[in-house]
Chains A and B, each alone.
Chain A
Amino acid sequence: MGRIVELLAAGIPATLAVTLGAFAIGLLGALPLVALRLAPLAPARWLAAALIDLLRAVPPVVWLFLIFFGLPQAGLSFAALPAAVIGLGLIAAAYIAEIWRAGLDGVPAGQRDAARALGLTPLARLRLVTGPQALAIAVPPLGSYLVGLLKDSAIASTIGVNEIAFRALTESQQSLDGLRVFLITGVIYLALSLPFGLLARWTSARLQRQVAT
């Protein structure tokens, strides 16, 4: 039992690398998407909506296969770990763009009115008035998404990233003790997701205190 825990725990760094790497790409990649999504030009909005739908409609495992097995044919080869981070990161960008957008939509219209009436430029309004308030609205769903991403990172095992689920699968095939191996696997994921959930709740409570009306 101790041996199995140790073996699976050795996959934690790879799991965290996939999760946090994809989350970081998602947070940054969402910014241009949401900017396009809210652009005054209609074709820009359509393009963003189409990209977001495309990223979300295709199953994550298909994106990973496309990047890992498909792109080398086009001369673009990635190792398994970066392929997983890029694939899950792009999908995360689409979901997080919608979270940012919902956050901005949730800021009361009067805030925008007041910021405009004070002669703030569009960028200053976003940075000083609507952005901080949208962030407070966005943190709880971002936290849920991060926990979801931690679990989805197990998909990286399909292209051979040496993370928790990959190790569990290999070990269960060798030891023929799948019940014990996957129960322990579940407990490890649970233990990892708890701090993420707590962090999200703590951040959210702090931000809510700051912007609550």
Chain B
Amino acid sequence: MTPLLEVTGLSKTFGAREVLADVSFAIEPGETLAVIGPSGAGKSTLLRCINLLERPTAGRVVLDGDELTAHGRSERELAQVRRRVGMVFQSFNLFPHRSALENVVLAQVHALGRGRAEAELRGLELLARVGLSERAANRPRQLSGGEQQRVAIARALALDPALLLLDEPTSAIDPELKREVLAVVRDLVADGMTMVLTTHEMRFAEEAADRVLFMADGRIVEEGAAATVMRAPAHERTRRFLSAVRDL
């Protein structure tokens, strides 16, 4: 099978600081890849480079045969590219001046050019899928963190992306509300969505992801089947990290 996403030699420096160094990996359609590692390992930057929220300093990102990192793309052209990649943020980033439904409808109408009626129908369908039909008219500030994140997932799915990026989707959510967000992500896994997610939920990573990639200091330390990396890591650095987070 040809990979859906192929990342080759990706590097990113901010000034003199090297945040990503020569990162390469690929994922097949329908696969879920969990990126784990200590804070500051470059996990978020990796995701932000994949949909070009940050321009990589070097390297290539190829989505479905199309090189996203091709040179000289304007911000307008990048906007087109980004429609094929959904992104969910740690801090949700819902639009506070719009209702839950309007958050899900906005980009369908203004980025994809869907008709409003069709976009609202799809928006309601997605809100139902994340269990929030009755919250459609609420503003983000009236929703709990878990609910906001589920709206954010619906918003990302509304563009029918080929790939979904989730950047620590549960880190900013109360412990007892994480479950509802994780349930939505599990449902996406079951549905065959191709995903790259960064997370500190080790049990969830092991259970939900097909593969796990462990990063430290901007580099990939090891990568493999989820069960292998989590239970029998090959590298000392991975072992140290896993035993430290499991001791908590």
B96 touches A120 (CB 8 A): no
A133 touches B93 (CB 8 A): no
B53 touches A121 (CB 8 A): no
Between A114, A115, A120, A133, the greatest number of chain B beta carbons within 10 A of the residue's beta carbon is seen for: A114
Question: In the docked arrangement, what's the CA distance between A2 and B82, Å?
Answer: 69
Contacts A118-B155, A133-B96 given; does A124 touch B111 at CB 8 Å: yes
A133 touches B97 (CB 8 A): yes
Interface size class of A (residues with CB under 8 A): 20 to 34
B95 touches A114 (CB 8 A): yes
Contact of B80 with A by CB under 8 A:
yes
Contacts A118-B82, A128-B106, A211-B97 given; does A113 touch B76 at CB 8 Å: no
Closest chain B CB from A134 CB (angstroms): 11
Closest chain A CB from B83 CB (angstroms): 3
Closest chain B CB from A65 CB (angstroms): 44
**What 1/0 mask marks residues of chain A from 120 to 151 whose CB sits below 8 Å from any chain B CB?**
11101000110011001000000000000000
Residue of A nearest to B112 (CB): A119
Contact of B107 with A by CB under 8 A:
yes
Closest chain A CB from B117 CB (angstroms): 19
B96 touches A118 (CB 8 A): no
A212 touches B83 (CB 8 A): no
Contact of A117 with B by CB under 8 A:
yes
Contacts A119-B111, A128-B106, A213-B141 given; does A114 touch B83 at CB 8 Å: no
A116 touches B82 (CB 8 A): yes
Contacts A111-B93, A213-B140 given; does A117 touch B110 at CB 8 Å: no
Indicate which residue in A114, A133, A210 contacts B89 across the interface (CB closer than 8 Å): A114
Contacts A133-B96, A213-B140 given; does A117 touch B91 at CB 8 Å: no
Contact of B94 with A by CB under 8 A:
yes
**What 1/0 mask marks residues of chain B from 92 to 117 whose CB sits below 8 Å from any chain A CB?**
01111100000000110011100000
A117 touches B53 (CB 8 A): yes
Chain A contact surface mostly: helix
Question: In the docked arrangement, what's the CA distance between A160 and B159, Å?
Answer: 61
Contact of B69 with A by CB under 8 A:
no
Closest chain A CB from B238 CB (angstroms): 30
A-B contact count (CB 8 A): 75
Question: In the docked arrangement, what's the CA distance between A115 and B95, Å?
Answer: 9
A116 touches B79 (CB 8 A): yes
Contacts A113-B53, A113-B93, A114-B94 given; does A121 touch B76 at CB 8 Å: yes
Closest chain B CB from A188 CB (angstroms): 39
A120 touches B107 (CB 8 A): yes
Contact of A110 with B by CB under 8 A:
yes
B93 touches A120 (CB 8 A): no
A119 touches B91 (CB 8 A): no
Question: In chain A, residues 173-213, which have Cβ atoms closer than 8 Å to a Cβ of chain B?
Answer: 210-213
Closest chain B CB from A124 CB (angstroms): 5
Indicate which residue in B51, B94, B97, B159 contacts A210 across the interface (CB closer than 8 Å): B97
CB-defined A-B contacts under 8 Å, sample of 9: A111-B93, A113-B89, A114-B95, A116-B78, A117-B156, A118-B107, A118-B156, A120-B107, A211-B97
Q: List residues of B whose CB falls within 8 A of some A CB.
A: 51, 53, 75-76, 78-83, 85-87, 89, 91, 93-97, 106-107, 110-112, 140-141, 152, 155-156, 159
Q: Top 9 A-B pairs ranked by shortest CB distance?
A: A119-B83, A114-B93, A118-B107, A110-B93, A117-B87, A211-B97, A119-B111, A119-B82, A213-B96
Q: List residues of A whose CB falls within 8 A of some B CB.
A: 108, 110-111, 113-122, 124, 128-129, 132-133, 136, 210-213
